[in-house]
Structure 1
Amino acid sequence: MRRVAQELGLSPMALYTYVPGKAELLDLMLDTLYAAMPRTTPADPGWRARAAAVADDNRALYAAHPWTAAVPTTRPPLGPGLMAKYEYELSALEGTGLDDVRLDAALTHLLGFVQTCARMAADERAAQQDSAMSDRQWWEANADLLARVLDPTRYPVATRVGTAAGQAQGGAYHADRAYEFGLPRILDGLAALIEPPTR
């Protein structure tokens, strides 16, 4: 609240004449971002392309405003921005044959994946900023410790897979790779509900 008041040139107490507290301020900020959020219309009219666009739009929102990924939204800001966002997102899966409850659950599952990736990306950036090292530099600086704990005799699978993944990603985790790998898997999972197998 102090920082917002300072940005607006107000005293912190003056801010409370506009909003009762931090929770309400966050709701207003989120709803404003939701209202202004780009809503992509993919060239491909299929549900997968529409759902991927929803995921990409949310990822872009989190990238532009990383703090939004950390705000709990189990009780979301009930405003026009949220309603417009929810309508857009549900419309991506409309007409797939999912009943209303499954449609909402499918959207929640998709958005949960995107939010998790965004939080991990924010953690990745924070770790780099706090340590003043890239992931690759951090792993190189800790190579001796890793060599002591990663015993290929006791942990053969962890050694093989961790080494391969670390070399490919430059560290234990790479937010972009996780998103690029995970989004098609999420859509494949939804396809099992939407597109029943033909015999």
Structure 2
Amino acid sequence: MNQEYSGSGDPEKSLYLLWGLQSRPTRGPKPALTVEQIVAAAVRIADAEGLAAMSIRRVADELGVGAMTLYRYVPGKGELLDVMLDTVYGELPRRSVKGDWRPKLDEVARENRQLYLNHPWLLQVAVSRPPLGPNVMAKYEYELTAIEGIGLSDVEMDAAVALINGYVHGAVRSAVEARQVILRSGITDKEWWLAHEPLLDKIGDTKKFPLASRVGTTVGQEFDAPYDFEHGFEFGLARVLDGIATLLGNR
């Protein structure tokens, strides 16, 4: 995946766009577009074709205008990407979950996972400098609320949220990459393994690799595939939450 970076444009211009503080174009013909329309078109392109396909010119073509027209609304691709990120973060339902911190943090993980699945291009954006738009801030507030008052310091709360988000990011990346392999190759994982089964039988050495042979066979029989991403996600998330529970229990 090609990597992009949030905050790669002019931070001040991005913040003006994110918070609706920019002035409407005063030169040229009467404005026929809005920033929201431009961002929606950019997201559609990224969803359908990947982030590499998204450019000012490509978005302009999608909207049926010239590229220079868009520059009257957004300074460039960097600032546009910041607004795209904040916009899709606004899709998070941020549901109210009953119970203690664990089901609440579990919901945080699942909502983030679904957002990545809906917009796989998010995996291509490094957000060490997140756009501090309204939806980014609302997302962070919601995630912190899940663990407020459970005995963690503010620094630990931030680290716990980052731990959950980091786990989801890694788990979803593997699932999205596997999906893309299937789409590009035109065959499922099961079909690929069956096609290569005769060769694998020849090179397989159960005596030299007894554990790999045993465990690999068991997994294949269990999931009818070499790996099941749903099971992997559930198993990993539970262990991450177990770790936080152990930390709290030791207090």
User: What is the total number of aligned residue pairs between the two structures?
Assistant: 196
Paired position in structure 1 for 2:70 = 15
User: Does 2:235 correspond to 1:177?
Assistant: no
2-structure distance, mates of 1:117, 1:38: 21
Paired position in structure 2 for 1:24 = 79
What is the TM-score when the length of structure 1 is the normalising length? 0.91
Instruction: Decide whether aligned partners of structure 1 residues 14 and 94 sit closer, same or farther in structure 2, where only a CA change above 3 A counts.
Output: same
Q: Point out the structure with max Rg over C-alpha.
A: 2
- Runs in 1 of length 4+ with deviation above 4 angstroms? none
Q: Is the 8 A contact 1:5 1:11 kept in 2?
A: yes
1-structure distance, mates of 2:95, 2:235: 21
Give SS of 2:129's match.
Answer: coil
User: Offset at 1:148?
Assistant: 3.3
Where in structure 1 are there 5+ consecutive unaligned residues? none
2-structure distance, mates of 1:118, 1:31: 20
Can you list the C-alpha shifts for 1:62-110, whole angstroms capped at 9, x where unaligned? 1211211222111112211100000000111111111111111111111
CA root-mean-square deviation: 1.6
Give SS of 2:126's match.
Answer: coil
**Alignment partner for residue 138 of structure 1, among 192, 205, 209?**
192
User: Offset at 1:169?
Assistant: 2.4
Paired position in structure 1 for 2:116 = 62
Can you list the C-alpha shifts for 1:157-189, whole angstroms capped at 9, x where unaligned? 111111111222232332211111111111001
User: Does 2:96 correspond to 1:41?
Assistant: yes
1-structure distance, mates of 2:183, 2:90: 31
Paired position in structure 2 for 1:190 = 244
Paired position in structure 1 for 2:106 = 52
Where in structure 2 are there 5+ consecutive unaligned residues? 1-54
Can you list the C-alpha shifts for 1:98-128, whole angstroms capped at 9, x where unaligned? 1111111111111111111211111111011
Instruction: Decide whether aligned partners of structure 1 residues 70 and 150 sit closer, same or farther in structure 2, where only a CA change above 3 A counts.
Output: farther
Look up the equivalent residue of 1:178 and give its one-letter code: G
Can you list the C-alpha shifts for 1:3-23, whole angstroms capped at 9, x where unaligned? 322222233343333333323
User: Offset at 1:46?
Assistant: 0.5
2-structure distance, mates of 1:196, 1:124: 39
Q: Is the 8 A contact 1:42 1:53 kept in 2?
A: yes
2-structure distance, mates of 1:164, 1:130: 28
Paired position in structure 2 for 1:156 = 210
Instruction: Decide whether aligned partners of structure 1 residues 166 and 22 sit closer, same or farther in structure 2, where only a CA change above 3 A counts.
Output: farther
2-structure distance, mates of 1:26, 1:133: 33
What is the TM-score when the length of structure 2 is the normalising length? 0.73
1-structure distance, mates of 2:226, 2:67: 42
Give SS of 2:75's match.
Answer: coil
Look up the equivalent residue of 1:38 and give its one-letter code: P
2-structure distance, mates of 1:34, 1:60: 11
User: Offset at 1:35?
Assistant: 2.2
Paired position in structure 2 for 1:124 = 178
1-structure distance, mates of 2:64, 2:249: 55
**Alignment partner for residue 150 of structure 2, among 96, 107, 116?**
96
Identity of aligned residues (%): 48
Give SS of 1:36's match.
Answer: coil
